[in-house]
Chains A and B, each alone.
Chain A
């Protein structure tokens, strides 16, 4: 018969493995509130305004207009 503490060790080991597996669930990316919201950042506002001005001038691709109309 195994001593009680060896069973606990096995349980703990199993728990660690499960925890590790969960953390690796999506290795490509994660969703976290640590990523800032850059909606009002001048860099992106300036960029978007520039591209918007371009699209206002040249219009959108016909295929996109067809899908949205």
Chain B
């Protein structure tokens, strides 16, 4: 994927990732975690880390004028994770409807790149279906081909 992204770091288990968002609000530490929910099924979660309190939050818009770069970085991280765990199913659901919609818009935006690596399914009308642009979903799954 030839997109602008941040340099990221991971530890030896390739389940935790960190990168720094830089913009008008300063430097914000972002944390991504692939939490195993069942055998081979992982939830992709990410948020802003408050280095003082240790709290992580995704409830407030960061407004660091780099949303696309942050989303692209998370996409690269998902790709990196899937190289290490090629059979994993990654489940993604936003905390809110608008957050889920943001993911949907960005999957659609980078579809040409994303679809080369992943089979993406979306959940709507009580069933899973292959992701289609312009359709609203409640949640997504991604799995490496």
| Interchain CA distance A50-B121 in the complex, whole Å | 18
Evaluate whether A54 and B139 lie within 8 angstroms (CB atoms) in the complex, with A37-B16, A38-B33, A48-B35 already known.
Answer: yes
Looking at chain B's contact residues, the main secondary structure is: strand
What is the interface residue range for chain A against chain B?
20 to 34
Q: Does B40 contact A (CB under 8 A)?
A: yes
* Residue in A closest to B126 when the chains form the complex, CB atoms: A58
Of the listed stretches B4-12, B20-28, B62-70, B102-110, chain A binds B4-12
In whole angstroms, how far apart are the Cα atoms of A27 and B9 in the complex? 10
Residues of A within 8 A of B18 (CB): 35-36
Known A45-B35, A55-B91, A60-B141: A35·B16 in contact at CB below 8 Å: yes
In the complex, whether A68 has a CB less than 8 A from a CB of chain B is yes
Flag if A41 contacts B56 (CB, 8 Å): yes
Residues of B within 8 A of A48 (CB): 35, 37, 43, 45
Task: Name the residue of chain A whose CB is nearest to the CB of B42.
Answer: A48
Using an 8 Å CB-CB cutoff, how does the interface string of A13-52 with B read, 1 for contact, 0 for none?
0000000000000011111111111110101110110111
Q: Which of B13-64 contact A (CB under 8 A)?
A: 13-18, 31, 33, 35, 37-41, 43, 45, 47, 55-58
| Neighbouring B residues of A30 by C-beta, 8 Å | 7, 9-10
Nearest residue, chain B, Cβ from A41: B56
Q: From residue 107 to 138 of chain B, which have CB atoms closer than 8 A to chain A?
A: 119, 121, 123, 126, 128, 138
B interface vs A, CB < 8 Å?
A: 5, 7-18, 31, 33, 35, 37-41, 43, 45, 47, 55-58, 76, 80, 87, 89, 91-93, 95, 119, 121, 123, 126, 128, 138-139, 141, 143
Q: With A28-B7, A51-B43 given, can you name 15 additional A-B contacts, CB distance below 8 Å?
A: A27-B7, A34-B11, A36-B16, A43-B56, A44-B43, A45-B35, A47-B43, A51-B37, A52-B43, A58-B123, A58-B139, A60-B41, A60-B128, A67-B87, A68-B87
